[in-house]
Amino acid sequence: MNQEKIMKRRMITAFVLFGITLVALLVFIGLYIDETHRVQETYRKQYMTEINHASREIELYVAHQGDVEERYKRITSFVTCANSFLFLMNETSDKQIILNEVTTCLIKYPEQMSERMEDLKKSFDDIYANLDKGYEEAKAVVDSVDKMGR
């Protein structure tokens, strides 16, 4: 009879510990999901900030204010940073591909891209306004670059 009581107590203790452990696990999972959403929101804000910086820098580049070469390098830097944050946000791959192509064109074809800066600024302004047509406009800018020539 004593051993039955001891076994019963051990089973009750095991069930209680299992319940506490399960609740703790669910709490930690919830905290992890919440923190993931918070980090994604931070990446989204930083992405939009970089797009806005690139748009403002393009505006100054088109107006020929200051050192034009330096402005072009800053535009490339801002777009590259935005591309990195877009990758971290786990966004759809189409957006990543388009922004990656814009970055590539800025690096490889600076002569051609300097002619298309106004269109690129318009696309970045639309992306900053959360309009999907901004990505289509950026794709059109990339498609207009002659990748075999110049």
- pLDDT tens, residue by residue, 45-69: 999 999 999 999 998 888 887 778 8
Average pLDDT, the chain: 89
- Which among 73, 115, 78, 117 is positioned nearest to 99, based on CA atoms? 78
Task: Decide which of 12 and 148 is more confident.
Answer: 12
Reading the block at residue 111, the tokens are 């002569």
Total number of residues shown for the chain: 150
Reading the block at residue 80, the tokens are 């590259």
